[in-house]
């Protein structure tokens, strides 16, 4: 691989891209339009309700009922009740594919009445960063309200298991990473599906094959361009989100794996889709079949925690889900463990698609 040739080709590709208004629109402008629309529509709706399985081992005592009423008033969670007979809540959650749960221990009311500290165990799934944040924020809020009402401000009710950096999340907080994910998906996917099919039809790859530029150099220059676009898009979206809608999100070094790996993943996937298609028209159809479900089912516009239970496993097979979950963990919750877990998934998927794409994508014909 020759860096000189990569540097020689890169400006030509960038110019071609920047001079194409449609490509530029979908890469940078369209996500901004979406954040303006969704941000304006949902900016006052606060948090979205996350499903929460509640196991009340204190039965129906007034204090536990008052606490659950306070939790319900936060509007951040949608509670379902698990009977004590169900046993260990953690196992129940796993068995029922639920992400969040809360246990009110036996003796809750008497402990509160006696001002004896009582610990509430809050279960959240680290891979569901958005939902975990909502649940923990809501439980903390309800605990604070109950401490004030039931114990006159004494910190009696103590939620445990909270490991997030922010306790209050708004819709816009989730929308910004979601739209960054949208941008890193749409821009390389649509572009590469189009490039790999039309350039094949127009024999542009063969044209390049007659120059010293190699396939890997071409691919590297292309990926560098989409990484730059991903960073630019992230900066713009965070700027608009923070500036216009007060989003509490930041680009930290934890965001970098996704801004670097996601373009690789989707360039490879787009290249693969375009390369296996016989015509640009069929490539467009294949590209849409891949892109649109991913666009809407990966938590781009709404947290996956709000999806019906049957749809959640579908979301979890989509690569963009891990990009957005990772960006949520990086930009909202500052949760390195979740970032690493998601980054690893994105890395592995990117490696697989890159390998497949380089095997299918040919400049010359046997």
Partner 1 sequence: MVDSVEVSGLVKSYGPLRAVDGIDFSVRPGEVFSFLGPNGAGKTTTVEILEGLRKRSGGDVRVLGLDPWHELDRLRTRIGVTPQDFHFFPKLTPREAIQLYARLFDVRPDVAELLAHVELADKADDHYDVLSGGQRQKLGVALALVNDPELCFLDEPTTGLDPRARRSIWEVIRRLRSEGRTVFLTTHYLDEAEQLADRISIINLGKIVATGRPDEIITRYGRHDRLRIVGDPGLAGHLGPLGFTVQEVPNGVEIELGSKAEALRALEAVSASGLRWDSFSTRRETLEDVFLRLVGRIDEGMLRIGGRENGGAP
**Measured from the CB of residue 353, what is the shortest distance to partner 1 in angstroms?**
25
Buried b (16+ CB within 10 A) or exposed e, 2-39: eeebbeebbeeeeeebeeeeebeebbbebbbebbeebb
Of 126, 137, 165, 158, nearest to 75 by C-alpha is: 137
314 near partner 1, rule: CB under 8 A = no
Any contact of residue 1 with partner 1 (CB under 8 A)? Answer: no
Are 65 and 71 contacting, i.e. CB atoms less than 8 angstroms apart? no
Query: How many Å apart are CA 355 and CA 22, to the nearest integer?
Result: 29
Q: Examine residue 366 and tell whether it contacts partner 1 (CB under 8 A).
A: yes
Contact 362, 216 (CB under 8 A): no
CB-side exposure of 62: number of CA atoms within 13 Å? 5
CA atoms within 13 A on the CB side of 120: 34
Does the protein bind partner 1 through residue 14 (CB under 8 A)? Answer: no
Does 278 engage in binding with partner 1 (CB under 8 A)?
Answer: no
Among 91, 116, 207, 278, binds partner 1 (CB under 8 A): 207
Q: Does 8 bind partner 1 (CB under 8 A)?
A: yes
203 belongs to the binding site for partner 1 (CB under 8 A) = yes
Please give the span between the terminal C-alpha atoms of the chain, in angstroms, as a whole number: 23
Work out whether 215 is an interface residue with partner 1 (CB under 8 A): no
By the rule CB under 8 A, 19 interacts with partner 1: yes
Does position 202 bind partner 1 by CB under 8 A? Answer: yes
In this chain, which of 90, 211, 278, 279 binds partner 1, going by CB under 8 A? 211
Question: Looking at 15-23, 32-40, 79-87, 254-262, which segment touches partner 1 (CB under 8 A)?
Answer: 15-23
Quick one: which segment of 138-146, 162-170, 201-209, 245-253 binds partner 1 (CB under 8 A)? Answer: 201-209
92 C-beta neighbours (distance < 10 Å), count: 17
Which residue stretch of 13-21, 93-101, 186-194, 303-311 sits at the interface with partner 1 (rule: CB under 8 A)? 13-21
Q: How far apart are CA 160 and CA 136, in angstroms?
A: 9
- Interacting residues toward partner 1 by CB under 8 A: 4-5, 8-9, 12, 15-16, 19-20, 202-204, 206-207, 209-213, 364-366
């Amino acid at each position: 691989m020759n860096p000189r040739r990569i540097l020689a080709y890169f400006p030509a590709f960038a110019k071609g891209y920047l001079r194409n208004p449609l490509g530029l629109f979908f890469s940078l402008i369209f996500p901004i339009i979406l954040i303006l629309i969704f941000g304006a529509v949902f900016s006052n709706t606060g948090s979205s309700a996350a499903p929460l399985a509640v196991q009340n081992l204190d039965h129906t005592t007034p204090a536990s009922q008052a606490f659950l009423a306070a939790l319900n008033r936060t509007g951040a969670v949608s509670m379902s009740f698990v009977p004590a007979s169900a046993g260990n809540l953690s196992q129940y959650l796993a068995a029922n594919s639920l992400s969040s749960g809360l246990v009110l221990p036996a003796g809750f009311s008497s402990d509160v009445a006696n001002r004896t500290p009582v610990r509430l165990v809050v279960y959240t799934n680290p891979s569901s960063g958005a939902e975990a944040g909502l649940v923990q924020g809501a439980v903390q809020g309800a605990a604070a309200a109950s401490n004030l009402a039931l114990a006159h401000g004494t910190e009696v009710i103590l939620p445990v298991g909270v490991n997030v950096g922010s306790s209050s999340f708004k819709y816009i907080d989730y929308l910004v990473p979601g739209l960054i994910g949208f941008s890193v998906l749409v821009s390389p996917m649509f572009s590469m599906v189009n490039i790999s099919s039309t350039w094949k039809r127009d024999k542009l790859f063969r044209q390049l094959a007659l120059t010293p530029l190699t396939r890997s150099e071409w691919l590297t220059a292309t990926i560098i361009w989409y990484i730059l676009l991903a960073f630019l898009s992230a900066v713009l979206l965070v700027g608009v989100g923070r500036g216009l809608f007060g989003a509490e999100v930041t680009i930290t070094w934890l965001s970098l794996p996704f801004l670097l790996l996601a373009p690789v993943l989707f360039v490879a996937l787009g290249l693969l889709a375009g390369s296996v298609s016989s015509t640009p028209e069929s490539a467009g159809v294949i590209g849409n079949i891949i892109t649109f479900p991913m666009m809407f089912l990966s938590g781009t516009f709404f947290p996956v925690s709000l999806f019906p239970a049957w749809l959640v496993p579908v979301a979890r097979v989509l690569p963009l889900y891990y990009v957005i979950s990772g960006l949520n963990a990086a930009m909202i919750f500052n949760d390195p463990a979740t970032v690493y877990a998601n980054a690893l998934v994105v890395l592995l998927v990117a490696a697989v698609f890159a390998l497949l794409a380089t095997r299918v994508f040919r400049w010359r014909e046997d």
